[in-house]
Amino acid sequence: MAAHGANQTHKGYPVTVKYTQLFINGEFVDAISGKTFETYDPRTGDVIARVAEAGKEDVDLAVKAARNAFDNGPWPRMSGYERGRIMSKYADLVEQNMEELAALETLNNGKPVAIARLVDLPTCSKVLRYYSGAADKIHGQTLKMAGPYQGYTLHEPIGVVGLIVPWNFPLVMFFNKISPALASGCTLVLKTAEQTPLTALYCANLAREAGIPPGVLNVLSGFGDPAGAAISHHMDIDKVSFTGSTETGRKIMEAAAKSNLKRVTLELGGKSPLIIMNDADVEEAVNLAHQAIYFNMGQACIAASRIYVQEGIYDEFVKKVVERAKKQVIGDPFTDGVHQGPQINKTQFDRILQYIEYGKQEGATLLTGGNRIGDKGFYIEPTIFSHVKEDMKIGKEEIFGPVMSIFTFKSIEEAIELGNKTTYGLAGGIVTKNIDVANRLSRSIRAGIVWINCYAVFDGDAPFGGYKMSGIGRENGLYDLSNYLQVKCVITPLHHSPWL
Ligand code: ADP
């Protein structure tokens, strides 16, 4: 393994890589095969460190540890109050180590460090606290039986869960997945994305420090195939929760069907519409549209990659949104004032530039951007196309980059029809001052979350998930607990007791 050094800083930020092994049964260990892989800095493409690479046999080992912790360990058996107390302590540790975690996230993922500190990290500790508070509020129902019987339901933890996360919000995804699963009393095997293994390993160590018992949380670095596939095919994993592409989601569901019919939650891709009506404040609409697509370098499943502008304000909107894009500050994500860092890696960078080419070839109008910036790392100009149609590649496929596509419409009926003209259904946005229009649109958009006069607002209490090919199930909120619980019905006869 590479030497990682101690107390390194970059532009004043601490960026030491301390943990690079697999975290199994409460210990950091090498992969059984001894294999490692390189993880890169998206600013340069340079290697940051070598990380242990989990194979099928490491997944088996982690599942054994999780199974033992579930069948024999204290975690599912302790009171919800006690689990919540440990999770609260974990949240304290995340907050205490926020600076270092934010810097490490930026080093491995490329997002502006200010965003990592102000958005990503607080989201992590908040979601942990949300579910730490939920851990002692999991209860079933008393049944009103139509006979002299007593019936009630128990909400039991589902068992060993496999969690597979992507690279765009490595830490947020880590905590979004583990928090409800931990609160429910499950034990976990989580695989990080191969592009961004570092911060989850750091947080595995914090889990140990917080007092989460060995085997409850196992964290593996590795590739979709073999490690991810070993999780989704595993006969001793009771449930898998996945966030990533629709294509991989399909494979995971197939694997679940072919193995032990494990429960599946999928949070997949999107091609979300933002519908801007004539009565909108144009400045506000421009700001919202800009943030809704360029946030996280466009690498967000909820990105508003289809902007629908009503014809009355179309010209003014287009002029101003182009001016706004040109003011975007792009550069080293560790530098103050930078809005946009590099894309995650060469593969994604090439893919985005290819989509920009498709846009030009298919007859959309390139208004600004379209090029790489510099000759090192993976920086791309904020790009805007107008005259986009729903059947063009850039109009229907998820680009996952800083590419805005602008469409126009005349009537609200047309906005509804075009907005829904997608196989996805993750999110949608509406900009209007008219409450009746807002109500009609929000109830007509076929998506799991709709933002009115705002965009990308998340909360531990706000359920999130997709319609159509954007996924199955909801994450966040109390709804998410049901992903990790199963319902047992218990019935006994009532002898010599009042039956009321
Ligand atoms: P992307 O193309 O954006 O990297 P993916 O959906 O391929 O998105 O990846 C998201 C997560 O899914 C990553 O952790 C990746 O390793 C994992 N993954 C990829 N392929 C598979 C697979 N066949 N089975 C299970 N997990 C997979």
pLDDT for res 13: 79
Average per-residue pLDDT for the chain: 96
Q: What pLDDT score does 2 carry?
A: 39
Same fold, 7-268+470-486 and 273-452: no
**Residue 266: left (phi > 0), alpha (psi -120 to 50), or beta?**
beta
Is the pLDDT score of 436 beyond 60?
A: yes
Pick the catalytic residue: 105, 301, 381, 475? 301
Is 95 known to be catalytic? no
Please determine, looking at this structure, whether the domain spanning 7-268+470-486 carries the CATH number 3.40.605.10.
yes
For atom 11 of ligand 1, which residue has the closest CA?
A: 166
Contact status, residue 462 vs residue 449, Cβ threshold 8 Å: yes
Position 16 scores a pLDDT of 86
Token pair belonging to 380 = 């791309």
Phi, psi (degrees; rounded to nearest 5) at 194? -60, -25
Q: Whose C-alpha lies nearest to ligand 1, atom 20?
A: 224
Contact between residue 192 and residue 146 where contact means Cβ atoms under 8 Å apart: no
- From its phi and psi, is residue 470 left (phi > 0), alpha (psi between -120 and 50) or beta? alpha
- Separation of CA 194 and ligand 1 centre (Å): 9
Mean pLDDT of 412-441: 98
Q: Is the backbone of residue 471 left (phi > 0), alpha (psi -120 to 50) or beta?
A: left
E-strand stretches of 53-176: 142-143, 149-157, 160-164
Q: Is 301 marked active-site? A: yes
| pLDDT tier at 7, thresholds 50, 70, 90 | low
Q: Give the confidence band of 15 by pLDDT, cuts at 50, 70, 90.
A: confident
Q: Collapsing DSSP states into helix, strand and coil, what is residue 18?
A: coil
Residue 497: per-residue pLDDT: 87
CA distance 364 to 385: 6
Supply the pLDDT for residue 359.
98
Q: What residues flank ligand 1, with Cβ below 6 Å?
A: 164-166, 191, 193-194, 223-225, 228-229, 232, 244-245, 248, 251-252
Give pLDDT, residue 5: 43
Counting residues of the chain whose pLDDT is more than 90, the rounded percentage is 95
pLDDT in tens, 238-272: 999 999 999 999 999 999 999 999 999 999 999 99
Distance 224 CA to ligand 1 centre (A): 5
Domain ranges of the chain: 7-268+470-486, 273-452
pLDDT of 14 reads: 78
Write out pLDDT tens, residues 124-143. 999 999 999 999 999 999 99
The mean per-residue pLDDT over the stretch 189-200 comes to 98
Q: What is the pLDDT of residues 148-157, one digit of tens each?
A: 999 999 999 9
Residue nearest (by alpha carbon) to ligand 1 atom 13: 193
pLDDT at position 498 = 82
What is the CATH code of the structural domain delimited by 273-452?
3.40.309.10
Average of pLDDT values for 313-331? 98
pLDDT of residue 460 exceeding 60, the answer is yes
Cα distance between residue 365 and residue 249, in whole Å: 33
* Residue identifier of the C-alpha nearest atom 27 of ligand 1: 224
pLDDT at 40 over 50: yes
Q: What length does the chain have? A: 500
- pLDDT confidence tier of residue 444, bands split at 50, 70 and 90: very high
Q: How far apart are CA 204 and CA 314, in angstroms?
A: 49
Structure confidence by residue, pLDDT tens digits, 482-499: 999 999 999 999 998 887
Write the Ramachandran bin of 438: left for phi over 0, alpha for psi from -120 to 50, otherwise beta.
Answer: alpha
The pLDDT tens digits for 334-379 are 999 999 999 999 999 999 999 999 999 999 999 999 999 999 999 9
Q: What is the pLDDT of residues 268-289, one digit of tens each?
A: 999 999 999 999 999 999 999 9
> What was the pLDDT predicted at 421?
97
Using an 8 Å Cβ cutoff, are 276 and 310 in contact?
A: yes
Q: What's the pLDDT score for residue 3?
A: 34
Q: Helical H runs in 166-227? A: 170-184, 198-210
Burial class (CB in 10 A: 0-12, 13-18, 19+), 487: exposed
- Ligand 1 centroid – CA 177 distance (Å): 15
Separation of alpha carbons 409 and 406, rounded Å = 10
- Percent above pLDDT 70 for the chain: 98
Q: What are phi and psi of 365, to 5 degrees?
A: -100, 120
**Tokens standing for residue 332:** 């080293």
